[in-house]
Every structure is written in structure tokens, then in C-alpha cells.
Amino acid sequence: MRFANLDGRAAVVVAGASGDLAVDVAEASGGRFPADPQAVFAHWRAFREWAAWSLDPARGRPFAPEDLGPPVPRPAQVFAIGVNYAAHASEAGYPPETAPVTFTKFPSCLAGPVCEVELPSATVDWEVEMVVAVARECGDVHPVDAWDYVAGITLGQDLSERTSQLAGSKPQFSLAKSFRNFGPTGPWLATPDELDDPCDLAISCSLSGETVQSARTSAMVYSVPELLVRLSRVCRLLPGDLVFTGTPAGVGNARTPKRFIQPGDVLVSELEGVGSITQRFVAGPARAGLPPAER
Ligand code: ZN
């Protein structure tokens, strides 16, 4: 099942004869499930059953990808994992860690799959990532059960302002990765059964036509189950929480010479079995303490 946010309303995406169609969840369920996409996660198990058995695909209507919002628009918690691919840890100069490096992207940075992003500086970098949504409240998850707590998988960019991220003796991961629209996600949430092997998906992104990252999620140091086990030892995980699972090698900050996103660049990210998201970049007003984006 593909779960989407269409114009702020929960929708199920179904395959039509000439392309994807969207079924409005609140209308098609006669109000049994809410219109607010975030609110659906409180009823995820019942919603999945309804979508599997009672949803009428004939109610599907065409839609424009630009009208999709983030499939999980207001998560209570957003976990993000750093250096979760060995090749990226190596290029970034980080030694192997004994636990997942964890920070947050503040939820106000989340955006839909097709959006424009204002560059606050000339040092904004790309990080394509698989993103996991939590299906229901849990703590002390056991690795054998971990996938039962996954509502679905989506694709995200962990856009990162490197100057503020790495300034000072205590890096500012969370703030530097939370500028407006720095967390685009989508195009929808694919339930794990939609994917041939949710543990081994091709993931990539291209900047203005050049492939800059390309890997498989099976190369993650900490797998999805392992991340849920470790995070849930500390925090209760809540329905509709997100986990950005880390980026593979190929970021701009690790290149020689370094390369960052310029105004006019288009970033297209892809995740096998899920789809693609597209961000266009424009120069924004310089933010305090940051060098201005080149115009
Ligand atoms: Zn990241």
C-alpha cells in the first residue's frame, strides 16, 4: 500500500490504467479514518486492514506530484542517523562508531517530494536517505519483531548546511539540518510488503543530471531493526515518528574540491520501489553567521 499526503489530506495511491490515482481516505472510508495524514498513524493497523479489504480503487482520481505533501507531515519525533554507511564514514573522516550517531531534524523542516529550497549559504550539501515511519507506540523493541513496528518506508533528503554544522567545538547537526524545506520526503510511504526486499534497496541522487550518490541500503552499518532496537531502548517510539537512516558516500563536503548546491541546481533522489523526489534550489537571504549563497 502506498500512503500519501495529497493537498494535506490522507490518500492511498493506486495504479490506474494510465498512471497513479489517489483515493481520499476520509471520503472513501465514510469518515472512519481522519483526513489529516498524521492522525491516521494513531489507527495504523485498522487502517491497513481497511485499505487491504475495503478500499475501492475505482474512487481514485488523477493528481499532480507537486500537490503531494510530506507523507508524515508532523511527526512527534524525528530521529536521524549519522555515518551509517561505512564508505560515507570513511569519506567524512569519522572512525567507526560503537553506537549509531543520532540527532534530529526539527519537524518544521519537513517538506513534500517536489519543492523549492532557498539556500541560506553557499555550503549546502545533499544526503539522500531511506526514511522509516513508525507504525505504533513501542519501547524495548526486539530485533525479531522490529519490522512489525514499521508503518512504511519513504525517501528523504537530509539537506545539510555544512558551515554551521561543523562550526565550533560542538557540532550543530540538528540545527544545521533544519533550515526551511531541508527535510523533503516522499513521494509517499510504501508499506514494507510493497517492496521486494525492504532491507536491500537501490538508493541514489543526481545533482543537475550528474549522479552523485548511488548505493544499496543493505550496506547500512545499523540495519532498520537494529536502529529501532537501539532507539527504543532510550525513547518510546510513537506512531508516525520518522527515522532518517543515514546517507551513503558521495556527499559534496567530502569531495576534492568540495562541491555544494548552487542556485539553479536540481536535485533528484530515487529509492527503489518507492519513487523519486525533486528539489530546485534558489538563492535565499543570508542567515546570521553564514556566508551568503552565491547569486
Ligand atoms: Zn544524514
pLDDT tens track for 204-246: 999 999 999 999 999 999 999 999 999 999 999 999 999 999 9
Say how many Å lie between the CA of residue 11 and the centre of ligand 1: 28
Say how many Å lie between the CA of residue 4 and the centre of ligand 1: 23
Kindly list the domain boundaries of the chain, sorted by start residue.
Answer: 2-63, 78-284
Q: Give the strand pairing for 266-271 and 101-103.
A: unpaired
Say how many Å lie between the CA of residue 85 and the centre of ligand 1: 10
Question: pLDDT tens digits for 244-279?
Answer: 999 999 999 999 999 999 999 999 999 999 999 999
Question: Cα–Cα distance between 279 and 93 in angstroms, integer?
Answer: 28
Residue 215: beta bridge partners?
Answer: 203
Say how many Å lie between the CA of residue 154 and the centre of ligand 1: 14
Strand (E) positions, 122-224? 124-125, 128-134, 150-157, 160-161, 183-190, 202-207, 210-216
Q: Are 6 and 22 in contact (CB under 8 A)?
A: yes
pLDDT value at position 294? 58
Say how many Å lie between the CA of residue 19 and the centre of ligand 1: 32
Mean pLDDT of the chain: 95
Say how many Å lie between the CA of residue 251 and the centre of ligand 1: 10
Q: Are 213 and 128 in contact (CB under 8 A)?
A: yes
Say how many Å lie between the CA of residue 233 and the centre of ligand 1: 21
Say how many Å lie between the CA of residue 126 and the centre of ligand 1: 9
Say how many Å lie between the CA of residue 246 and the centre of ligand 1: 5
Residues 6+ apart with CB under 8 A from 234: none
**Would you tell me which CATH number, out of the four given (3.90.850.10, 3.40.190.10, 3.30.70.980, 3.30.70.20), belongs to the domain 78-284?**
3.90.850.10
CA–CA distance from 201 to each of 152, 192, 204, 223, 253 (Å)? 14, 11, 10, 12, 25
- 64, amino acid identity: A
Question: Cα–Cα distance between 103 and 84 in angstroms, integer?
Answer: 13
Q: What is the pTM of this model?
A: 0.96
Asked if the model's pLDDT at residue 295 lies above 60, the reply is no
Residues 6+ apart with CB under 8 A from 30: none
Say how many Å lie between the CA of residue 84 and the centre of ligand 1: 9
Say how many Å lie between the CA of residue 274 and the centre of ligand 1: 19
Say how many Å lie between the CA of residue 179 and the centre of ligand 1: 14
Q: Are 56 and 28 in contact (CB under 8 A)?
A: yes
Question: Cα–Cα distance between 23 and 57 in angstroms, integer?
Answer: 7
C-alpha cell at 123: 555550503
Say how many Å lie between the CA of residue 140 and the centre of ligand 1: 24
Reported as a pLDDT band with limits 50, 70 and 90, residue 98 is: confident
Q: Are 154 and 276 in contact (CB under 8 A)?
A: no
Say how many Å lie between the CA of residue 47 and the centre of ligand 1: 30
232 phi and psi, to 5 degrees? -75, -10
